[in-house]
Amino acid sequence: MTESLKLKLLKNAGWLFSAEVISKLLAYGIIVILSRTLGPDGLGQYSFIFYYVGLLGIFSDLGVSYYFMREVARDRSKTEELLPDVLGLKIVLVLVNFVVIVVLTLFLPKPMWIKALILLVGVEAMLTWISLVFVQLMYAHEVTKYEAIARTVERIWAFFVGGVVLYFYRSLSPFIVALLIGYTIREFLRVKWGTKFVKKIIIRFNPQIWLSLLKKSYPFWLIGLFTLIYYRTDMVMLSLMKGDYETGIYRAAYTLIEVSLFVPNIVVSTMMPSIARLWKQDKKTLDILLKKSLQMLTGFGVLALAGYFIFARLGIIIVFGKEFLESVSVLRILAFAVPFMFLNSLFGSFLNATERELVFTKITGFTALLNVMLNYILISYYGASGAAIATVLSQSTANILSFIALSLLQKNEK
């Protein structure tokens, strides 16, 4: 691995690490304030709204943004060629997706005020989905500092402004409105800084070119779709099957699990453009990069598992209070999923970056279906603990299948 590549990876990782630490601390501070103010039911309602909108965001991209990032990372001259069509397609997709959210929400068995908040979150989500094109553009140029700053600004807003609103109003609705204002600021910054990497913003509406893009991007969409189902199903199914309280109990445990996920997020986000480039230029260096990443993430994953299992009760009481003691057993179950989560992030990104996206699509499709089935069965009997068991079984299955696929592919190349 060359020194220049090492320095670039370290620099990008440094920006993302700093942003992740600040963002996560503030994000979990927000969850703690919300939990202690509104209890398990309030946390459950909050989680359902955002997870529901996230789960229904299945038509907002169709894999185009990821394909765009990979192609520009390999050849930056493609920016001017691809961006106008990508933006035009994204605008159409997010409008269609919002209509889907509106229609499905009308039939949702939830109070009207919850439905109104869902639609409001959906409006802001359209801005988020479009701004992500510019995030991918910055990542393709191996620049992470602007996204790091944008996320940090949004989290600071959410913590201080959202915290003040929650303190005075002690209600979910004004709190969510405050959060959405912060999200809008973040999207504006993303677009503003993303435009630094293109000479001129042009939006082109050409269905013929869109079809060509979709033929190349659909595997990434399927992966994104299956991943959404994979990670969002548990919270939504819990809310619909068991109610807000059980959802809040599960979310409290999962929130602590998410603290550790910044490690693979940083590693993968930093390395993805380099993996895509090295796959074409220097496969020997790529193998070294993969092995070192695998060793590092395995070690961190095992340490995280031990820490969560041993300190589960202490962590829940300190962060959320005794009202969430039922989350302790859920957290200990989820802890066993952490090493698998770490490695799945690496395996998935490696397969995608090295043109094996169809392999990963099949793996995520199978495990997403498995996850839904397991959640339905286990939540029915065990509630939040059942959702945690389903997560462990799904993540371990994905890990085993990805490892086997990667080993076979590398063996065939030799």
In whole angstroms, give the CA distance from residue 205 to residue 96. 15
Helices (H), 58-206: 64-74, 79-106, 112-140, 145-157, 163-169, 172-194
Amino acid making up residue 27: A
Contacts of 295 (CB under 8 A, 6+ apart): none
pLDDT digit string (tens) for 187-223? 999 999 999 888 888 899 999 999 988 888 887 788 7
In whole angstroms, give the CA distance from residue 334 to residue 259. 13
More confident residue, 294 or 382: 382
Global pTM value: 0.76
Residue (of 104, 40, 395, 30) closest to 242 by Cα position:
40
Say yes or no to pLDDT of 4 above 60: no
Question: Collapsing DSSP states into helix, strand and coil, what is residue 110?
Answer: coil
In whole angstroms, give the CA distance from residue 133 to residue 146. 14
In whole angstroms, give the CA distance from residue 286 to residue 290. 6
In whole angstroms, give the CA distance from residue 112 to residue 118. 10
Share of the chain above pLDDT 70, in %: 89
Residue 346, token pair as written in the block: 């690496």
CB 62 within 8 A of CB 193: no
Say yes or no to pLDDT of 134 above 60: yes
Per-residue pLDDT, 294: 83
In whole angstroms, give the CA distance from residue 84 to residue 89. 9
The count of C-alpha atoms lying within 13 angstroms of the C-alpha of 172, restricted to the half-sphere facing its C-beta, is 22
**pLDDT grade for 385, boundaries at 50, 70 and 90:** very high
Say yes or no to pLDDT of 336 above 90: yes
Share of the chain above pLDDT 90, in %: 47
Per-residue pLDDT, 105: 95
Average pLDDT, the chain: 86
In whole angstroms, give the CA distance from residue 150 to residue 25. 16
Backbone torsions φ then ψ of 56, nearest 5 degrees: -80, 0
Say yes or no to pLDDT of 313 above 90: yes
Per-residue pLDDT, 388: 95
Say yes or no to pLDDT of 142 above 80: no
Instruction: Give the residue-averaged pLDDT of 89-112.
Output: 94
Q: Compute and round to an integer the Cα radius of gyration of the chain.
A: 21
Contacts of 379 (CB under 8 A, 6+ apart): 234, 237, 238, 241, 242, 386, 387, 390
Q: Which helix (H) or strand (E) holds 21?
A: helix 3-55
Q: Exposed/middle/buried for 370, CB within 10 Å: 0-12, 13-18, 19+?
A: middle
Instruction: Give the residue-averaged pLDDT of 340-358.
Output: 79
Lowest mean pLDDT among 89-98, 226-235, 364-373: 226-235
**pLDDT grade for 282, boundaries at 50, 70 and 90:** low
Say yes or no to pLDDT of 301 above 60: yes
**pLDDT grade for 17, boundaries at 50, 70 and 90:** low
CB 341 within 8 A of CB 301: yes
In whole angstroms, give the CA distance from residue 203 to residue 193. 17
Amino acid making up residue 161: V
User: What angle, 0 to 180 degrees and rounded to 10, lies between the N-to-C axes of helices 244-260 and 262-281?
Assistant: 50
DSSP string of 348-372, one letter each residue: HHHHHHTT-HHHHHHHHHHHHHHHH
Say yes or no to pLDDT of 10 above 60: no
